[in-house]
Amino acid sequence: MDKQRLPPWVRSTLPPASALAKITRRTYCQGLATVCREARCPNRGECFSKGTAAFLILGDVCTRDCRFCAVKHGIPQPPEPSEPVKVAESVAVMGLTHAVVTSVTRDDLEDGGAWQFVATIRAIREMCPGVGIEVLIPDFRGSADALRQVVEAGPDVINHNPETVPRLYPLLRHAAIYERSLELLARVRQYDPQIYTKSGIMVGVGETLDEVRALIRDLVGVGCAALTIGQYLRPTKDHYPVKRIVPPEEFEQLEDIAMAEGIPCVAAGPLVRSSYAAGQMLRKLKGLPADETDPGESVDPCIRNPCKINS
């Protein structure tokens, strides 16, 4: 769908030049990638201006070719040994209170890249004690050992996204398995109940409300503590087409459904993405007051909290 035809509640703005320069100095100059840029996140204007970013480790080339994702796919380079320390240094320089670390999927690696997550968590813990750490991980091809390594490294939050309802996997995520994603989230809770599990889905790709409700129930069944729900936006004309633009009031309905089904913390809105307001969500799960420096609501007063975290 042409950006010019999008309704105002799903349009985003470019980040200020000063914010871009700041992020560039502190991430890209070190050879680091961010999922904000590589996945063309619509919130990067707001988040960059607030000095926040979600780090993308294990390079910027994915071994899978999901039809909704803007990240490049192909044959990636070997993991960079210095990457974990560079991420920790950037977290320190940027003065973050909550760091989000995600990755491309690396099916070419025996452990799926789990050790790079472990090293990054440890580097941040050593260099930035007290910083909240959230990792948004791939499925590691179902490896329990790889997942256990990440769990034992002790992040505050482990996030893994089913992305969409199981019926649409052949169209959108042909290399992924819905049940494997649920099993991953369940295993995190088995290995360490103190770690919060989080997940995310997109809407507007052809799902039905009943299917979304069933997906939410599946997430509740594996102990998911937090959920993000956002509008799918087609990155390029070569990607999967948007089937429907979901109005803001339906996001409110989805939020109400998720809460009623038993998910404690929900962020639902057109521009919500997996790492949006991640620090605020962790604070809510811990029962702490909101941090006003972390993005948590849309700046557009005409829309009723389209990026709201339920209270």
CB within 8 Å of 34: residues ≥ 6 apart: 23, 27, 28, 53, 54, 55, 56
Please give the mean pLDDT across all residues of the chain: 83
Domains along the chain with CATH numbers: 3-309 (3.20.20.70)
**Whether the Cβ atoms of residue 299 and residue 46 lie closer than 8 Å to each other:** yes
Q: Judge contact between 216 and 268, C-beta under 8 A.
A: no
Which distant-in-sequence residues (6+ apart) come within 8 Å of 239 by Cβ? 67, 68, 69, 70
Tell me, rounded to whole angstroms, the distance of Cα 196 from its chain centroid. 14
In this structure, of 98-112, 198-212, 254-268, 270-284, the range with the lowest mean pLDDT score is 270-284
Tokens 């809407």 identify what position?
203
The token pair at 125 is 């813990």
CA–CA distances in Å: residue 9 to residues 31, 246, 278: 34, 10, 21
Angle, nearest 10°, between helix axes 209-221 and 178-191?
Answer: 30
Structure tokens at 140: 């590691």
Q: What's the chain's length in residues? A: 311
Residues 71-98, mean pLDDT to the nearest whole number: 89
Span 111-145, pLDDT tens digits:
999 999 999 999 999 999 999 999 999 999 999 99
Could you report the per-residue pLDDT of 176-207, keeping only the tens digit for each? Answer: 999 999 999 999 999 999 999 999 999 999 99
